[in-house]
């Protein structure tokens, strides 16, 4: 785990302690066991991106605070130059790049996602809100509940992420834009 990623669990713990929230209360808020929550907070287990959103909501902070340790400060607009977003590697073969981390009071989270091809289907996740994906390069297999789609460059999908879902690259590295509205 790189140094930036090691900071995420430390920030979560520090914020939780400042807010005087017990680990048991956090685990209840996140609907995970106390043991699993402790593994996340101690950096022993990777925190799924969907759970990072839930952590930010439970701590009543913007996701940028969890990722960077800084409050977003842009109110009217933010320009993100190519390759300059905040990268978050949460799963082997998956890289998320936050494209609006410094915009205050976001109602959606745009992420550039790069997926390396793998042999195993992705672990299905759930989260609140709505989600939109558009494939920018390669082919992405999207599983939503019992449905399975292969999307090519230019194809998009909009769905209810409370349904277990996951994405993975087909044959080669794939890149897609996901916009999550919580």
Per-residue model confidence (pLDDT) at position 65: 86
Q: Which CATH superfamily is domain 107-181 in?
A: Jelly Rolls (2.60.120.10)
The DSSP result for the chain, as a single string, is --HHHHHHHHHHHHHHHHTT--HHHHHHHHTS-HHHHHHHHTTSSPPPHHHHHHHHHHTT--HHHHHHSS---BSS-----TT-SEEEEEETTEEEEESSTTBTT-SSEEEEEEE---SSPPPPB--SSEEEEEEEES-EEEEETTEEEEE-TT-EEEE-TTS-EEEEESSS-EEEEEEEE-
Per-residue model confidence (pLDDT) at position 91: 63
pLDDT tens across 19-42, in order? 999 999 999 999 999 999 999 999
Q: Is residue 182 pLDDT above 80, yes or no?
A: no
Where are the domain boundaries for CATH 1.10.260.40 in the chain? 3-68
pLDDT tens across 103-121, in order? 888 888 899 999 988 766 6
- CATH number belonging to the domain at 3-68, selected among 1.20.140.10, 3.20.20.140, 1.10.260.40, 3.60.40.10: 1.10.260.40
């Amino acid at each position: 785990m790189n140094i930036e990623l090691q900071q995420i669990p430390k920030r979560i713990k520090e914020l939780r302690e400042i807010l005087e929230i017990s680990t048991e209360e956090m685990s209840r808020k996140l609907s995970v066991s106390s043991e699993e929550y402790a593994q996340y907070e101690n950096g022993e287990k990777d925190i799924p991106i969907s759970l990072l959103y839930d952590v930010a909501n439970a701590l009543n902070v913007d996701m940028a605070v969890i990722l960077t340790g800084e409050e977003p400060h842009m109110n009217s607009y933010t320009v993100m130059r190519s390759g300059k977003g905040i990268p978050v590697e949460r799963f082997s073969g998956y890289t998320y790049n936050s494209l609006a981390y410094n915009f205050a009071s976001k109602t959606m989270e745009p992420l550039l996602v790069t997926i390396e091809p793998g042999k195993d289907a992705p672990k299905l996740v759930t989260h609140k809100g709505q989600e939109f994906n558009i494939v920018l390069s390669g082919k992405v297999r999207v599983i939503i509940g019992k449905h399975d789609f292969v999307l090519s460059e230019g194809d998009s999908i909009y769905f209810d992420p409370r349904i277990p879902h996951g994405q993975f690259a087909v044959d080669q590295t794939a890149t897609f834009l996901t916009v999550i509205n919580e």
